[in-house]
Amino acid sequence: MKFFVDSADIEEIGELADTGLIDGVTTNPSLIAKSGRNFLDVIKEICSVVEGPVSAEVTALDSVTMLKEAEVLRGLAPNVAIKVPLTMDGLKACKVLTDDGAKVNVTLCFNANQALLAAKAGASYISPFIGRLDDMGQDGMELIEEIREIYDNYDFDTEILAASIRNINHVKSCALIGADVATVPGSVIKQLAKHPLTDKGLEGFMADWAKTGQSIL
């Protein structure tokens, strides 16, 4: 499973990119607003520190203007992936863009039929939002399972980019189901490496090593 960072915080992205564990980045208008910075500058900077796809979302609601915005965004860097909303206009723009060789991430997916349409529109990625479904008392992970089954039934190339991930259990379940990508907040990526027995074990090893009086270097 590939890991994308769900963030528009260049410092956080740079720090995680240095680990070599990050395969791409997703942003959205809310994350850009939170950064307090210019959208185009932020995307350009992220693209310079991450080799993989960096999702930049159009903000128009009609397909004609979406395509104009996509042209600007695609001009920023070769690894920009255009994010479009899961609406009829978004799907229409998706088809034009993928036919033209762009990578397209169709976002705000909340049911399997929407994911089916995105695959038919040639989307590179479909973004089902797990956490927001959980928030409504539904099981977001069930949606990942359904999309996996449908895409496998028809050998669609569209990758399942599990989004709105809120905790480490979401990440594990996505991996068990076989999501292609998980886009994860930086704080949750860091938590994945944590276990109290790891900390305790390391403490013990370090204490015993100190007793030997030795040094490797």
Write the burial class of residue 216 (CB in 10 Å: 0-12 exposed, 13-18 middle, 19+ buried): exposed
Which one of residues 63, 127, 158, 173 is an interface residue with ligand E4P (CB under 6 A)?
127
Half-sphere exposure of 2 (CA within 13 A, CB side): 16
Task: Give whichever of 131 and 186 is closer to ligand E4P, judged by the CB atom.
Answer: 131
Residue 83 among the catalytic residues: yes
Catalytic site residue from 2, 34, 68, 83: 83
CB of 150 to ligand E4P, least distance (A): 20
114 is a site residue for ligand E4P (CB under 6 A): no
Among residues 44, 60, 69, 131, which is the contact residue for ligand E4P, using CB under 6 A? Answer: 131
| CA dist., res. 177 & res. 160, Å (int) | 11
- Regarding 2 and contact with ligand E4P (CB under 6 A), the answer is no
Q: Site mask, ligand E4P, residues 4-23, x = CB under 6 A?
A: --x-----------------
Cβ neighbours of residue 32 closer than 8 Å, sequence gap 6 or more: 8, 39, 42
Nearer to ligand E4P, 73 or 163 (CB): 163
28 binds ligand E4P (CB under 6 A): yes
**120 forms part of the interface with ligand E4P (CB under 6 A):** no
Residues 150-179 that bind ligand E4P (CB under 6 A): 163-164
129 binds ligand E4P (CB under 6 A): yes
Task: Give Cβ neighbours of residue 141 (< 8 Å, ≥ 6 apart).
Answer: 130, 170, 173, 174, 177
Cα angle 174, 31, 22 (rounded to 5 degrees) comes to: 45
Would you count residue 26 as binding ligand E4P (CB under 6 A)?
yes
* Tokens describing residue 155: 């050998």
8 A C-beta contact, residue 24 and residue 53: yes
Residues constituting the chain: 217
Residue 187 or 198 with smaller CB distance to ligand E4P: 187
Cβ-contact 58, 66 below 8 angstroms: yes
52 counts as binding ligand E4P under rule CB under 6 A = no
Q: Does 132 bind ligand E4P (CB under 6 A)?
A: yes
Number of alpha carbons in the 13 Å side-chain half-sphere of residue 172? 6
The site for ligand E4P (CB under 6 A) is made up of 6, 26, 28, 107, 127, 129, 131-132, 163-164, 183
Catalytic residues: 83
